[in-house]
């Protein structure tokens, strides 16, 4: 389509445009209406574990303000909204019957989304494990996978009449390795073997949930992984081997079981000094590789690595199975307040790599976005956030996604992280990822300039480009 001297970079008809959030990061109301603590409620209260000791107790108060937030989604013109269910709100002890008030909250949320013409996209697990299940062993214990499948089955019975899109897990790498190996995330354990077992049990829970929801009639089922291109900083054998190991331990350790039904042999060998594979039982991999309808890709950056001594303070050390790898910052490369390098080509590379090595299969970018130090300013009597950097970041990544489609990737949708500025886990409230600014003292929401621009993208199903 052309308009004078400009044309539009169009996405395929029916392309899903959305934003994403997670329960603990936005809901607040952590002790209301029968919700019990999750591992994040506990962890965030441990001195020194989160920035300024911040917790998700109030967060964006979305539990009470969801109508206002859905109005913002409508303003953004999105076709979809991806949010997660708080397991400790719905099934507070992680087992047994559901909490009616918890189910009711999500039921009302789903209804209001649908009334606004927005398709709800549910993530079943975004890291808020009920504390009672952690006390019973957490993800290193096999039973947690069974509990998760039970939770998934029960809540699908309640919402499945209106929700067709289901993601089992969000970023199991973070839940397993940041949670159980380096203690940077809840529950804050530092036991490498436990982290490896956790990864397997998270995948098993995914597979069991896929089987159960499929049997219950769910139509669009998948999992979301945080994927990265991993490059060696030089072409030496040592650096290339470092890249192979990090790729194995971050990407292939999840991709291969889900999409090929096996663990990569090199990854098993890399982990041999940490744990054996006794926790992997006969039949598990068949469950884990139960067919999915899509893969969700969360993309933020690329890793460049070299063989070395392990970089303290990167949040990646000790890196299970690759403790002797350094993560390298490329001099002069643009970074954001998270310290992550901005690398849109890495999104194209990730999408084409998955398609080449595991596909073709339907893909969604289930998260991509950026944190900046945004401020609200008054411009001609109007409150604005002039976040040109975020607009540029998103535009560059949308273009990379479009190129991937042109190169044959079956990309079906794109969810910006995040709808709202929110609780960035151990980093507290200082990392603003939202298209909507939140003043955490007053809970006032202000649509950022990037959000205004995103509304144009969703309505045009594409970008305007100079003709």
Site residues, ligand IFM (CB under 6 A): 22, 25, 171, 298, 367, 417, 424, 433
Between 151 and 299, whose beta carbon lies closer to ligand IFM?
299
Least distance between ligand IFM and beta carbon 367 (Å): 5
Question: Measured over all CA atoms, what is the biggest interatomic distance in the chain, rounded to whole angstroms?
Answer: 67
Residue that is written with structure tokens 């219950």 in the block: 216
Phi, psi (5° rounding) for residue 179? -80, -40
Between 181 and 416, whose beta carbon lies closer to ligand IFM?
416
Between 54 and 150, whose beta carbon lies closer to ligand IFM?
54
Least distance between ligand IFM and beta carbon 23 (Å): 10
d(CA 75, CA 56): 26
SS3 235: coil
SS3 406: helix
Least distance between ligand IFM and beta carbon 58 (Å): 17
SS3 62: helix
Between 30 and 298, whose beta carbon lies closer to ligand IFM?
298
Active site residue 171: yes
b/e 222-261 (16+ beta carbons within 10 angstroms → b)? bbbbbbbbbbbbeeeeebbbbbbbbbbbbbbbbbbbbbee
Under 8 Å between Cβ of 322 and 270: yes
Least distance between ligand IFM and beta carbon 117 (Å): 26
In the complex, residue closest to ligand IFM by CB = 22
d(CA 22, CA 400): 25
In Å, how far are 67, 119, 262, 372, 452 from 456, measured between CA atoms? 22, 19, 43, 21, 7
Least distance between ligand IFM and beta carbon 438 (Å): 14
Between 296 and 462, whose beta carbon lies closer to ligand IFM?
296
Residue 43 CB neighbours (<10 A)? 22
Between 171 and 326, whose beta carbon lies closer to ligand IFM?
171
- SS3 for 3-53 is ECCEEEEECCCCCEEEEECCHHHHCCCCCCCCCCCEHHHHHCCCCCCCHHH
Under 8 Å between Cβ of 41 and 59: no
Phi-psi region of 227 (alpha: psi -120 to 50; beta: other; left: phi over 0): beta
Least distance between ligand IFM and beta carbon 226 (Å): 6
Question: In this structure, what DSSP letter does residue 280 have?
Answer: S
Between 263 and 364, whose beta carbon lies closer to ligand IFM?
364
Least distance between ligand IFM and beta carbon 338 (Å): 7
User: Pick the catalytic residue: 171, 349, 395, 424?
Assistant: 171
Which residues, 6 or more positions from 108, have their beta carbon under 8 angstroms from its beta carbon?
66
Residue that is written with structure tokens 């976040």 in the block: 387
Which pair of tokens denotes residue 99? Answer: 């909490």
d(CA 242, CA 246): 6
Between 24 and 63, whose beta carbon lies closer to ligand IFM?
24
User: Pick the catalytic residue: 134, 367, 395, 424?
Assistant: 367
Give 328-361 as a DSSP string. -PPTT--B-TTSPBP-HHHHHHHHHHHHHHH-S-
Least distance between ligand IFM and beta carbon 26 (Å): 10
Between 263 and 294, whose beta carbon lies closer to ligand IFM?
294
Active site residue 146: no
Least distance between ligand IFM and beta carbon 298 (Å): 5
Q: Which residues are catalytic?
A: 171, 367
């Amino acid at each position: 389509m052309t308009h004078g001297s400009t044309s539009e970079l169009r996405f395929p008809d029916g392309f899903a445009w959305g934003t994403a959030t997670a329960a603990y990061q936005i809901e607040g109301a952590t002790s209301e209406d029968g919700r019990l603590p999750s591992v994040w409620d506990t962890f965030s209260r441990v001195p020194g574990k989160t920035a300024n000791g911040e917790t998700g107790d109030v967060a964006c108060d979305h539990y009470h303000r969801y109508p206002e937030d859905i109005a913002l989604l409508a303003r953004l013109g999105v076709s979809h909204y991806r949010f997660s269910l708080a397991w400790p709100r719905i099934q507070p002890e992680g087992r047994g019957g559901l909490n009616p008030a918890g189910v009711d909250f999500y039921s009302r949320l789903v209804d209001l989304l649908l009334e606004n013409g927005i398709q709800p996209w549910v993530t079943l697990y975004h890291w808020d494990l009920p504390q009672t299940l952690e006390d019973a062993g957490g993800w290193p214990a096999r039973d947690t996978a069974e509990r998760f499948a039970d939770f998934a089955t029960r809540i699908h019975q309640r919402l499945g009449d209106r929700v067709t899109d289901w993601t089992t897990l969000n970023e199991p790498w973070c839940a397993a390795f940041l949670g159980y190996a380096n203690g940077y995330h809840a529950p804050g354990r530092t036991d490498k073997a436990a982290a490896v077992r956790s990864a397997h049990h998270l995948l098993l829970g995914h597979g069991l949930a896929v089987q159960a929801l499929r049997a219950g009639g769910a139509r669009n089922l998948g999992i979301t992984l945080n994927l990265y291109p991993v490059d060696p900083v030089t072409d030496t054998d040592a650096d290339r081997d470092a890249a192979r190991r990090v790729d194995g331990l971050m990407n292939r350790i999840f991709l291969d079981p889900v999409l090929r039904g096996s663990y990569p042999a090199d990854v098993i060998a890399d982990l041999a000094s940490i744990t054996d594979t006794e926790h992997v039982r006969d039949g598990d991999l068949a469950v884990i590789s139960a067919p999915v309808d899509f893969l969700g890709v969360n993309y933020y950056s690329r890793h460049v690595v070299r063989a070395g001594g392990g970089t303290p303070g990167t949040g990646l050390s000790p890196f299970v199975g690759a403790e002797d790898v350094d993560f390298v910052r490329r001099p002069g490369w643009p970074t954001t307040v998270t310290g992550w390098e901005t690398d849109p080509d890495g999104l194209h590379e990730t999408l084409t790599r998955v398609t080449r090595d595991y596909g073709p299969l339907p893909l969604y970018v289930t998260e991509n976005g950026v944190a900046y130090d945004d401020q609200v300013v008054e411009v001609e009597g109007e409150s604005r956030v002039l976040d040109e950097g975020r607009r540029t970041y998103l535009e560059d990544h949308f273009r990379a996604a479009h190129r991937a489609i042109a190169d044959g990737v079956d990309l079906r949708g794109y969810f910006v992280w995040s709808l709202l500025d929110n609780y960035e886990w151990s980093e507290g409230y200082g990392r603003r990822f939202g298209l909507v600014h939140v003043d955490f003292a007053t809970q006032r929401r202000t649509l950022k300039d990037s959000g205004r621009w995103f509304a144009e993208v969703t309505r045009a199903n594409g970008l305007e480009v100079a003709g």
